[in-house]
Chain A
């Protein structure tokens, strides 16, 4: 009988915490034999909001979108390298849109049974609870969610993989 974890998605946003999540995801995929995918969302929803509220002019929107797409490529490449170093196959996805909804859509499209995310930032005000995009995703996805914590311990597990 197959185990409960067969299809893992790790969400990457360029933060140290999300890189730790990727290392954890590689460890878990190796030990369970699960398939592994990684997602980076270019937050075009926020970009559009900044243009609508007239904070950004059109040239800024284009410039920042290019920056974000370059970031996406850079961080997805990094995660690919983390996986390949441990001979773990990985599928990479870059999506544009609102973070929480793109995570949810990919979880559903790929029939993911475990979403791995990095440690969430500390809640410092009521607004933080309302607007944390990854927390919204965590609450709305239909699968189990794992929050990877303890950067040093996760790195040590990752390093010890054959």
Chain B
């Protein structure tokens, strides 16, 4: 599986409007609802929030990867959000997060879920990629960056 199979303009929001963690989770889940990727946003919020309660997925250096395994999706689903001003996501380094990858997967696709998470983790280790991503101004620019 290529991460590009999951990156579509209708699941990318630049800039995000939220200024608080919970609002951001709702905003990204709503984005997936509007894109027709999910049908039960409340169920998604509950599992994503439950995972955050076990420990923030704000990894530091401006990156957060909220994720969950849930029956509320039938396939691997990815939303990308960028908040140029940053949001307090209770990240490990105490810094605001600016780039958010929300990854959801059904319970029977753990292998693909791990592949998707690994690829996102690998991408975020590239300082050049992240610098360009944070300065993207449209979903189309984000997709183009992933295609390089």
Binding site for B on A (CB under 8 A): 13-14, 43, 46-47, 49-50, 53-57, 59, 63-64, 67-68, 71, 121-128, 131
Contact = CB atoms under 8 A, between A and B. Distances in A.
A54 B59 contact: yes
A59 B53 CA distance: 13
Contacts of A121: 1-2, 5
Nearest to A130: B122
A122 B2 contact: yes
Contact of B111 (A43, A123, A124): A43
Contact of A54 (B67, B92, B125): B92
A50 to B, nearest CB: 6
A120 to B, nearest CB: 10
**Which among B69, B107, B114, B115 has the greatest number of chain A C-beta atoms within 10 A?**
B114
Contacts of B2: 121-125, 128
A49 B121 CA distance: 9
Contacts of A131: 119, 122
B94 interface: no
B108 to A, nearest CB: 8
Top 3 closest A-B pairs, CB basis? A67-B110, A124-B4, A46-B118
B92 to A, nearest CB: 7
B54 A126 contact: no
A120 B29 CA distance: 32
A55 B117 contact: yes
Given A68-B114, A125-B2, A125-B4, A55 B121 contact: yes
Given A46-B114, A50-B117, A68-B114, A125 B146 contact: yes
B134 to A, nearest CB: 18
Contacts of A123: 2
Interface string B81-120: 0000000000010000000000000010011011101110
16 contacts: A46-B114, A46-B115, A47-B114, A50-B117, A50-B121, A53-B125, A55-B67, A63-B69, A68-B114, A71-B110, A125-B146, A126-B148, A127-B119, A127-B122, A128-B2, A131-B122
A147 to B, nearest CB: 17
Contact of B65 (A55, A59, A68, A71): A55
A59 B69 CA distance: 13
A126 B145 CA distance: 11
B119 A53 contact: no
A68 B110 CA distance: 7
A13 B147 contact: no
Contacts of A46: 114-115, 118
B54 A43 contact: no
Contacts of A63: 69
Interface string B56-90: 01010000010101000000000000000000000
A50 B119 CA distance: 10
